[in-house]
Structure 1
Protein backbone atom coordinates (compact mmCIF):
# COMPACT_ATOMS: atom_id res chain seq x y z
CA UNK A 1 0.00 0.00 0.00
CA UNK A 2 1.31 3.43 -0.95
CA UNK A 3 2.16 5.88 1.82
CA UNK A 4 0.86 8.73 -0.27
CA UNK A 5 -2.08 10.53 1.28
CA UNK A 6 -5.45 9.92 -0.33
CA UNK A 7 -6.00 13.69 -0.53
CA UNK A 8 -2.93 13.98 -2.79
CA UNK A 9 -4.38 11.56 -5.33
CA UNK A 10 -6.59 12.79 -8.15
CA UNK A 11 -9.48 10.35 -8.47
CA UNK A 12 -10.74 9.95 -12.03
CA UNK A 13 -13.75 8.42 -13.79
CA UNK A 14 -13.36 7.54 -17.48
CA UNK A 15 -16.34 7.59 -19.83
CA UNK A 16 -15.87 6.27 -23.37
CA UNK A 17 -17.88 3.72 -25.32
CA UNK A 18 -14.73 1.98 -26.60
CA UNK A 19 -13.16 -0.41 -24.09
CA UNK A 20 -9.79 -0.31 -25.85
CA UNK A 21 -9.69 3.46 -25.58
CA UNK A 22 -10.47 3.31 -21.86
CA UNK A 23 -7.80 0.65 -21.35
CA UNK A 24 -5.21 2.83 -23.08
CA UNK A 25 -6.12 5.95 -21.13
CA UNK A 26 -6.18 4.11 -17.81
CA UNK A 27 -2.77 2.55 -18.46
CA UNK A 28 -1.34 5.95 -19.34
CA UNK A 29 -2.81 7.70 -16.29
CA UNK A 30 -1.90 5.04 -13.78
CA UNK A 31 1.76 5.38 -14.66
CA UNK A 32 1.46 8.54 -12.57
CA UNK A 33 1.57 7.93 -8.81
CA UNK A 34 -0.86 10.74 -8.00
CA UNK A 35 -3.56 9.77 -10.52
CA UNK A 36 -6.03 6.95 -9.94
CA UNK A 37 -8.85 5.72 -12.18
CA UNK A 38 -11.65 4.78 -9.76
CA UNK A 39 -14.29 3.88 -12.33
CA UNK A 40 -15.05 3.33 -16.02
CA UNK A 41 -18.33 3.60 -17.93
CA UNK A 42 -19.46 3.32 -21.54
CA UNK A 43 -22.25 5.91 -21.82
CA UNK A 44 -23.31 9.28 -20.49
CA UNK A 45 -26.05 8.06 -18.16
CA UNK A 46 -23.65 5.62 -16.48
CA UNK A 47 -21.15 8.47 -16.16
CA UNK A 48 -23.63 10.62 -14.22
CA UNK A 49 -24.57 7.70 -11.98
CA UNK A 50 -20.95 6.81 -11.22
CA UNK A 51 -19.98 10.42 -10.54
CA UNK A 52 -22.86 10.65 -8.06
CA UNK A 53 -21.78 7.44 -6.33
CA UNK A 54 -18.02 7.95 -6.29
CA UNK A 55 -17.67 11.78 -6.35
CA UNK A 56 -14.38 11.67 -8.29
CA UNK A 57 -12.20 14.76 -8.65
CA UNK A 58 -12.26 14.64 -12.44
CA UNK A 59 -14.53 13.12 -15.08
CA UNK A 60 -12.84 12.48 -18.44
CA UNK A 61 -15.56 11.94 -21.01
CA UNK A 62 -15.90 11.45 -24.77
CA UNK A 63 -18.47 13.48 -26.70
CA UNK A 64 -20.21 10.88 -28.83
CA UNK A 65 -21.61 8.06 -26.68
CA UNK A 66 -24.85 6.07 -26.33
CA UNK A 67 -27.74 7.16 -24.11
CA UNK A 68 -26.37 10.61 -23.33
CA UNK A 69 -23.62 12.55 -25.07
CA UNK A 70 -20.59 13.81 -23.20
CA UNK A 71 -21.76 17.39 -23.59
CA UNK A 72 -25.22 16.58 -22.19
CA UNK A 73 -23.66 14.65 -19.30
CA UNK A 74 -21.36 17.57 -18.42
CA UNK A 75 -24.28 20.00 -18.59
CA UNK A 76 -26.38 17.87 -16.23
CA UNK A 77 -23.40 17.39 -13.92
CA UNK A 78 -22.98 21.16 -13.61
CA UNK A 79 -26.67 21.56 -12.80
CA UNK A 80 -26.16 19.54 -9.61
CA UNK A 81 -25.67 22.04 -6.79
CA UNK A 82 -23.39 19.88 -4.66
CA UNK A 83 -21.23 18.47 -7.44
CA UNK A 84 -17.51 19.19 -7.03
CA UNK A 85 -16.37 16.98 -9.92
CA UNK A 86 -14.49 18.79 -12.68
CA UNK A 87 -14.90 17.63 -16.28
CA UNK A 88 -12.61 17.27 -19.29
CA UNK A 89 -13.96 16.52 -22.75
CA UNK A 90 -11.60 14.16 -24.60
CA UNK A 91 -12.56 13.85 -28.25
CA UNK A 92 -11.27 13.27 -31.77
CA UNK A 93 -13.42 16.19 -32.96
CA UNK A 94 -12.05 19.72 -33.07
CA UNK A 95 -15.12 21.24 -34.70
CA UNK A 96 -16.09 24.72 -33.54
CA UNK A 97 -19.63 23.52 -32.81
CA UNK A 98 -18.53 20.80 -30.36
CA UNK A 99 -15.98 23.03 -28.65
CA UNK A 100 -18.36 25.92 -28.06
CA UNK A 101 -21.17 23.63 -26.90
CA UNK A 102 -18.79 21.94 -24.44
CA UNK A 103 -17.69 25.27 -22.98
CA UNK A 104 -21.30 26.43 -22.71
CA UNK A 105 -22.19 23.17 -20.93
CA UNK A 106 -19.52 23.96 -18.32
CA UNK A 107 -16.62 21.70 -19.30
CA UNK A 108 -13.41 22.66 -17.50
CA UNK A 109 -11.22 21.38 -20.29
CA UNK A 110 -11.27 20.09 -23.87
CA UNK A 111 -8.53 17.89 -25.32
CA UNK A 112 -8.12 16.04 -28.59
CA UNK A 113 -7.38 12.33 -28.49
CA UNK A 114 -4.06 12.88 -30.24
CA UNK A 115 -2.88 15.05 -27.33
CA UNK A 116 0.50 13.96 -25.99
CA UNK A 117 0.89 12.50 -22.50
CA UNK A 118 2.54 15.54 -20.91
CA UNK A 119 -0.25 17.87 -22.01
CA UNK A 120 -2.87 15.36 -20.89
CA UNK A 121 -1.39 15.10 -17.40
CA UNK A 122 -0.98 18.87 -17.17
CA UNK A 123 -4.64 19.33 -18.16
CA UNK A 124 -5.85 17.00 -15.41
CA UNK A 125 -3.85 18.77 -12.70
CA UNK A 126 -4.85 22.22 -13.97
CA UNK A 127 -8.54 21.34 -14.01
CA UNK A 128 -8.36 19.57 -10.65
CA UNK A 129 -6.83 22.71 -9.15
CA UNK A 130 -9.78 24.78 -10.35
CA UNK A 131 -8.38 26.08 -13.62
CA UNK A 132 -9.39 25.68 -17.26
CA UNK A 133 -7.37 23.83 -19.87
CA UNK A 134 -7.83 23.89 -23.63
CA UNK A 135 -5.17 22.62 -26.01
CA UNK A 136 -3.68 25.02 -28.57
CA UNK A 137 -6.06 24.37 -31.46
CA UNK A 138 -9.05 24.48 -29.13
CA UNK A 139 -7.92 27.78 -27.61
CA UNK A 140 -7.64 29.27 -31.10
CA UNK A 141 -11.27 28.37 -31.80
CA UNK A 142 -12.38 30.01 -28.56
CA UNK A 143 -10.34 33.16 -29.16
CA UNK A 144 -11.56 33.51 -32.75
CA UNK A 145 -15.14 33.02 -31.64
CA UNK A 146 -14.91 35.61 -28.88
CA UNK A 147 -12.82 38.26 -30.60
CA UNK A 148 -12.92 37.41 -34.31
CA UNK A 149 -9.97 36.37 -36.43
CA UNK A 150 -6.75 38.24 -35.64
CA UNK A 151 -4.98 40.36 -38.22
CA UNK A 152 -2.13 37.85 -38.28
CA UNK A 153 -4.50 34.97 -39.03
CA UNK A 154 -7.53 36.42 -40.83
CA UNK A 155 -10.67 34.44 -41.37
CA UNK A 156 -11.14 32.97 -44.84
CA UNK A 157 -12.74 35.30 -47.40
CA UNK A 158 -15.41 32.71 -48.01
CA UNK A 159 -16.63 33.08 -44.44
CA UNK A 160 -19.02 35.83 -45.55
CA UNK A 161 -20.33 33.82 -48.49
CA UNK A 162 -23.27 31.49 -48.70
CA UNK A 163 -23.06 28.52 -46.37
CA UNK A 164 -26.19 26.39 -46.83
CA UNK A 165 -24.45 23.30 -45.42
CA UNK A 166 -23.74 24.76 -41.96
CA UNK A 167 -19.99 24.28 -42.36
CA UNK A 168 -17.76 25.47 -39.51
CA UNK A 169 -14.94 27.93 -40.12
CA UNK A 170 -12.45 25.08 -39.78
CA UNK A 171 -14.32 22.97 -42.33
CA UNK A 172 -14.35 25.90 -44.75
CA UNK A 173 -10.58 26.27 -44.37
CA UNK A 174 -10.08 22.54 -44.95
CA UNK A 175 -12.38 22.69 -47.97
CA UNK A 176 -10.30 25.47 -49.52
CA UNK A 177 -7.10 23.52 -48.97
CA UNK A 178 -8.58 20.30 -50.36
CA UNK A 179 -9.70 22.09 -53.51
CA UNK A 180 -6.31 23.75 -53.85
CA UNK A 181 -4.90 20.26 -54.38
CA UNK A 182 -3.27 19.58 -51.02
CA UNK A 183 -3.22 16.05 -49.58
CA UNK A 184 -4.49 15.22 -46.10
CA UNK A 185 -0.89 15.05 -44.89
CA UNK A 186 -0.05 18.44 -46.37
CA UNK A 187 -3.21 19.98 -44.88
CA UNK A 188 -2.42 18.49 -41.47
CA UNK A 189 1.06 20.05 -41.57
CA UNK A 190 -0.29 23.42 -42.69
CA UNK A 191 -3.00 23.57 -40.02
CA UNK A 192 -0.89 21.78 -37.38
CA UNK A 193 -3.53 19.10 -36.85
CA UNK A 194 -3.16 15.34 -36.96
CA UNK A 195 -3.77 13.58 -40.27
CA UNK A 196 -6.67 11.72 -38.64
CA UNK A 197 -8.30 15.03 -37.70
CA UNK A 198 -8.11 16.23 -41.31
CA UNK A 199 -9.56 12.92 -42.51
CA UNK A 200 -12.47 13.48 -40.10
CA UNK A 201 -13.04 16.98 -41.51
CA UNK A 202 -12.99 15.59 -45.06
CA UNK A 203 -15.55 12.93 -44.08
CA UNK A 204 -17.77 15.55 -42.43
CA UNK A 205 -17.55 17.80 -45.52
CA UNK A 206 -18.61 14.96 -47.79
CA UNK A 207 -21.47 14.05 -45.46
CA UNK A 208 -22.76 17.60 -44.93
CA UNK A 209 -22.55 18.47 -48.62
CA UNK A 210 -23.97 15.06 -49.65
CA UNK A 211 -21.25 14.20 -52.16
CA UNK A 212 -19.25 11.02 -52.68
CA UNK A 213 -16.12 12.18 -54.47
CA UNK A 214 -13.76 15.11 -54.87
CA UNK A 215 -15.17 16.20 -58.24
CA UNK A 216 -18.71 16.51 -56.89
CA UNK A 217 -17.33 18.31 -53.81
CA UNK A 218 -15.60 20.87 -56.06
CA UNK A 219 -18.70 21.36 -58.24
CA UNK A 220 -21.00 21.90 -55.27
CA UNK A 221 -18.53 24.23 -53.53
CA UNK A 222 -18.29 26.33 -56.68
CA UNK A 223 -22.06 26.30 -57.24
CA UNK A 224 -22.70 27.66 -53.75
CA UNK A 225 -19.82 30.13 -53.88
CA UNK A 226 -17.95 28.47 -50.99
CA UNK A 227 -14.51 28.91 -52.52
CA UNK A 228 -12.69 31.87 -53.98
CA UNK A 229 -12.52 31.90 -57.79
Structure 2
Protein backbone atom coordinates (compact mmCIF):
# COMPACT_ATOMS: atom_id res chain seq x y z
CA UNK A 1 0.00 0.00 0.00
CA UNK A 2 1.40 3.40 -1.00
CA UNK A 3 2.02 6.12 1.57
CA UNK A 4 -0.81 8.61 2.06
CA UNK A 5 -0.66 12.04 0.43
CA UNK A 6 0.53 14.55 3.04
CA UNK A 7 -1.29 17.89 2.94
CA UNK A 8 -0.76 21.28 4.58
CA UNK A 9 -3.92 23.40 4.89
CA UNK A 10 -3.45 27.18 4.72
CA UNK A 11 -6.47 29.39 5.41
CA UNK A 12 -7.11 32.18 7.90
CA UNK A 13 -10.53 30.75 8.78
CA UNK A 14 -10.38 27.87 11.24
CA UNK A 15 -13.83 26.62 10.21
CA UNK A 16 -12.71 26.37 6.58
CA UNK A 17 -9.59 24.44 7.58
CA UNK A 18 -11.69 22.08 9.69
CA UNK A 19 -14.04 21.47 6.78
CA UNK A 20 -11.20 20.81 4.34
CA UNK A 21 -9.55 18.45 6.83
CA UNK A 22 -12.74 16.43 7.21
CA UNK A 23 -13.26 16.21 3.44
CA UNK A 24 -9.68 15.28 2.58
CA UNK A 25 -9.14 12.73 5.33
CA UNK A 26 -12.42 11.01 4.43
CA UNK A 27 -10.74 10.00 1.14
CA UNK A 28 -8.60 7.40 2.91
CA UNK A 29 -5.39 8.11 1.00
CA UNK A 30 -4.88 11.68 2.25
CA UNK A 31 -3.68 12.89 5.64
CA UNK A 32 -3.50 16.51 6.83
CA UNK A 33 -0.12 16.98 8.50
CA UNK A 34 -0.44 20.63 9.44
CA UNK A 35 -2.38 23.87 9.30
CA UNK A 36 -1.45 27.54 8.92
CA UNK A 37 -3.49 30.74 9.22
CA UNK A 38 -1.14 33.19 7.47
CA UNK A 39 1.30 33.20 4.60
CA UNK A 40 4.19 33.55 7.02
CA UNK A 41 3.06 30.46 8.92
CA UNK A 42 2.59 28.63 5.60
CA UNK A 43 6.18 29.23 4.49
CA UNK A 44 7.53 28.08 7.85
CA UNK A 45 5.27 25.00 7.96
CA UNK A 46 6.15 24.04 4.38
CA UNK A 47 9.84 24.14 5.25
CA UNK A 48 9.38 22.09 8.40
CA UNK A 49 6.74 19.56 7.32
CA UNK A 50 7.66 19.16 3.62
CA UNK A 51 4.09 18.15 2.63
CA UNK A 52 3.28 16.66 -0.75
CA UNK A 53 0.56 19.23 -1.41
CA UNK A 54 -0.32 22.63 0.06
CA UNK A 55 -3.89 23.92 -0.14
CA UNK A 56 -3.33 27.70 -0.20
CA UNK A 57 -5.85 30.46 0.45
CA UNK A 58 -5.16 33.89 -1.09
CA UNK A 59 -6.44 36.62 1.21
CA UNK A 60 -4.70 36.26 4.57
CA UNK A 61 -3.07 38.60 7.10
CA UNK A 62 0.69 39.15 7.41
CA UNK A 63 1.43 37.65 3.98
CA UNK A 64 -1.07 36.65 1.31
CA UNK A 65 -1.15 33.24 -0.31
CA UNK A 66 0.32 34.43 -3.60
CA UNK A 67 3.51 35.72 -1.97
CA UNK A 68 3.68 32.60 0.20
CA UNK A 69 3.40 30.47 -2.95
CA UNK A 70 6.24 32.40 -4.62
CA UNK A 71 8.51 31.85 -1.64
CA UNK A 72 7.66 28.16 -1.28
CA UNK A 73 8.13 27.43 -4.99
CA UNK A 74 11.39 29.41 -5.05
CA UNK A 75 12.80 27.32 -2.18
CA UNK A 76 14.61 24.47 -3.91
CA UNK A 77 14.51 22.47 -0.70
CA UNK A 78 10.71 22.30 -0.77
CA UNK A 79 9.10 20.09 -3.40
CA UNK A 80 5.50 20.62 -2.35
CA UNK A 81 2.87 21.25 -5.02
CA UNK A 82 0.71 24.28 -4.25
CA UNK A 83 -2.98 24.35 -5.11
CA UNK A 84 -4.51 27.80 -4.66
CA UNK A 85 -8.06 27.49 -3.30
CA UNK A 86 -9.95 30.77 -3.12
CA UNK A 87 -13.45 32.20 -2.85
CA UNK A 88 -12.69 34.90 -5.39
CA UNK A 89 -12.97 34.10 -9.10
CA UNK A 90 -10.64 36.91 -10.15
CA UNK A 91 -8.32 36.94 -13.14
CA UNK A 92 -5.55 38.69 -11.23
CA UNK A 93 -5.56 35.96 -8.57
CA UNK A 94 -5.64 33.25 -11.25
CA UNK A 95 -2.75 34.55 -13.35
CA UNK A 96 -0.67 35.69 -10.39
CA UNK A 97 -1.06 32.22 -8.85
CA UNK A 98 0.14 30.54 -12.05
CA UNK A 99 3.01 33.01 -12.38
CA UNK A 100 3.98 32.26 -8.78
CA UNK A 101 4.32 28.58 -9.67
CA UNK A 102 1.07 27.13 -8.32
CA UNK A 103 0.20 23.68 -9.66
CA UNK A 104 -3.53 24.29 -9.52
CA UNK A 105 -6.30 26.82 -9.03
CA UNK A 106 -9.60 25.83 -7.49
CA UNK A 107 -12.61 27.81 -6.26
CA UNK A 108 -14.01 27.17 -2.79
CA UNK A 109 -17.46 26.48 -4.23
CA UNK A 110 -16.04 23.26 -5.70
CA UNK A 111 -17.55 20.02 -4.46
CA UNK A 112 -15.74 17.74 -1.98
CA UNK A 113 -14.84 15.28 -4.75
CA UNK A 114 -13.20 18.09 -6.74
CA UNK A 115 -11.05 19.10 -3.77
CA UNK A 116 -9.93 15.51 -3.24
CA UNK A 117 -9.22 15.11 -6.96
CA UNK A 118 -7.19 18.34 -6.99
CA UNK A 119 -4.96 17.08 -4.19
CA UNK A 120 -4.44 13.73 -5.90
CA UNK A 121 -3.65 15.37 -9.24
CA UNK A 122 -1.16 17.79 -7.69
CA UNK A 123 0.50 15.00 -5.70
CA UNK A 124 0.95 13.03 -8.93
CA UNK A 125 2.86 15.95 -10.43
CA UNK A 126 0.04 17.10 -12.69
CA UNK A 127 -1.51 20.55 -12.95
CA UNK A 128 -5.17 21.28 -12.41
CA UNK A 129 -7.40 24.25 -13.17
CA UNK A 130 -11.01 24.67 -12.17
CA UNK A 131 -13.20 24.14 -15.26
CA UNK A 132 -14.53 27.68 -14.86
CA UNK A 133 -11.12 29.24 -15.45
CA UNK A 134 -9.51 26.93 -18.03
CA UNK A 135 -10.98 28.81 -21.00
CA UNK A 136 -9.73 32.13 -19.60
CA UNK A 137 -6.19 30.77 -19.26
CA UNK A 138 -6.23 29.57 -22.85
CA UNK A 139 -7.65 32.88 -24.06
CA UNK A 140 -5.06 34.85 -22.12
CA UNK A 141 -1.97 32.94 -23.18
CA UNK A 142 -2.86 31.17 -26.42
CA UNK A 143 -4.44 33.99 -28.40
CA UNK A 144 -1.98 36.26 -30.22
CA UNK A 145 -2.42 40.04 -29.68
CA UNK A 146 -4.95 41.63 -32.05
CA UNK A 147 -2.28 43.95 -33.41
CA UNK A 148 -0.26 41.05 -34.78
CA UNK A 149 -1.09 39.38 -38.12
CA UNK A 150 -2.29 35.80 -38.10
CA UNK A 151 0.63 33.41 -38.51
CA UNK A 152 0.88 31.54 -41.81
CA UNK A 153 -0.89 28.19 -41.75
CA UNK A 154 2.37 26.27 -42.01
CA UNK A 155 3.65 27.99 -38.88
CA UNK A 156 0.80 26.41 -36.90
CA UNK A 157 2.67 23.13 -36.83
CA UNK A 158 4.79 22.33 -33.75
CA UNK A 159 8.13 24.13 -33.69
CA UNK A 160 9.77 21.29 -31.77
CA UNK A 161 10.49 17.72 -32.76
CA UNK A 162 7.88 15.73 -30.84
CA UNK A 163 7.48 12.06 -31.60
CA UNK A 164 4.07 10.88 -32.76
CA UNK A 165 3.38 9.44 -29.31
CA UNK A 166 4.53 12.61 -27.54
CA UNK A 167 2.26 14.73 -29.74
CA UNK A 168 -0.60 12.37 -28.93
CA UNK A 169 0.08 12.68 -25.19
CA UNK A 170 0.25 16.48 -25.52
CA UNK A 171 -3.16 16.54 -27.20
CA UNK A 172 -4.64 14.58 -24.30
CA UNK A 173 -2.91 16.80 -21.73
CA UNK A 174 -4.54 19.76 -23.51
CA UNK A 175 -7.90 18.05 -22.91
CA UNK A 176 -7.19 18.28 -19.15
CA UNK A 177 -6.65 14.52 -18.81
CA UNK A 178 -4.61 13.22 -15.90
CA UNK A 179 -1.73 10.77 -16.39
CA UNK A 180 -3.98 7.92 -15.27
CA UNK A 181 -6.67 8.88 -17.79
CA UNK A 182 -4.10 9.18 -20.60
CA UNK A 183 -2.69 5.77 -19.71
CA UNK A 184 -6.15 4.25 -19.90
CA UNK A 185 -6.89 5.97 -23.22
CA UNK A 186 -3.63 4.88 -24.87
CA UNK A 187 -3.42 1.43 -23.22
CA UNK A 188 0.02 2.13 -21.78
CA UNK A 189 1.41 2.28 -18.25
CA UNK A 190 1.07 5.39 -16.13
CA UNK A 191 4.85 5.47 -15.62
CA UNK A 192 5.26 5.55 -19.40
CA UNK A 193 2.85 8.48 -19.60
CA UNK A 194 4.88 10.36 -16.98
CA UNK A 195 8.00 9.78 -19.06
CA UNK A 196 6.29 11.09 -22.20
CA UNK A 197 4.94 14.15 -20.36
CA UNK A 198 8.37 14.87 -18.92
CA UNK A 199 9.92 14.62 -22.39
CA UNK A 200 7.26 16.91 -23.85
CA UNK A 201 7.80 19.56 -21.18
CA UNK A 202 11.55 19.40 -21.68
CA UNK A 203 11.29 19.71 -25.47
CA UNK A 204 8.81 22.59 -25.23
CA UNK A 205 10.82 24.35 -22.55
CA UNK A 206 7.56 24.43 -20.57
CA UNK A 207 7.63 24.79 -16.80
CA UNK A 208 4.45 22.81 -16.22
CA UNK A 209 1.39 21.27 -17.84
CA UNK A 210 -0.44 24.59 -18.00
CA UNK A 211 2.30 26.00 -20.24
CA UNK A 212 2.12 22.83 -22.35
CA UNK A 213 -1.64 23.27 -22.76
CA UNK A 214 -1.09 26.84 -23.95
CA UNK A 215 1.47 25.58 -26.47
CA UNK A 216 -0.90 22.92 -27.73
CA UNK A 217 -3.70 25.42 -28.34
CA UNK A 218 -1.33 27.93 -29.94
CA UNK A 219 -0.10 25.30 -32.40
CA UNK A 220 -3.42 23.68 -33.19
CA UNK A 221 -2.70 20.44 -31.31
CA UNK A 222 -5.57 20.62 -28.84
Q: TM-score, normalised by structure 2?
A: 0.63
Following the alignment from structure 2 to structure 1, what is the Cα–Cα distance between the partners of residues 139 and 90?
13
Question: Runs of at least 4 residues of structure 1 off by over 6 A?
Answer: none
How many residues in Structure 1 have an aligned counterpart in Structure 2?
144
Aligned to 1:20: 15
- Maintained 8 Å contact 2:23/2:116: no
Measured on the aligned residues, the alpha-carbon RMSD in Å equals 1.3
Aligned to 1:47: 42
Which residue of 108, 114, 123 maps to 2:118? Answer: 123
Aligned to 2:98: 103
Deviations 1:133-159 (A, max 9, x none): 00111212201101249xxxxxxxxxx
Structure 1 segments unaligned to the other structure (5+ residues): 150-229
Does the alignment pair 1:144 with 2:124?
no
Give 1:94 deviation, angstroms: 1.2
Following the alignment from structure 1 to structure 2, what is the Cα–Cα distance between the partners of residues 133 and 22?
21
Aligned to 2:33: 38
Following the alignment from structure 2 to structure 1, what is the Cα–Cα distance between the partners of residues 114 and 23?
12
- Map 1:187-226 onto structure 2 (within 5 A): none
SS at 2:7 equivalent: strand
Following the alignment from structure 2 to structure 1, what is the Cα–Cα distance between the partners of residues 41 and 113?
28
Give 1:32 deviation, angstroms: 1.2
Deviations 1:26-70 (A, max 9, x none): 111111111000111100000110111110100101000011110
Following the alignment from structure 2 to structure 1, what is the Cα–Cα distance between the partners of residues 142 and 48?
40
Structure index of larger Rg: 1
Which residue of 24, 28, 31 maps to 1:29? Answer: 24
SS at 1:87 equivalent: strand
- Maintained 8 Å contact 2:7/2:54: yes
Give 1:101 deviation, angstroms: 0.3
- Map 1:39-188 onto structure 2 (within 5 A): 39-148=34-143
Q: TM-score, normalised by structure 1?
A: 0.61
Following the alignment from structure 1 to structure 2, what is the Cα–Cα distance between the partners of residues 147 and 85?
28
Aligned to 2:151: none
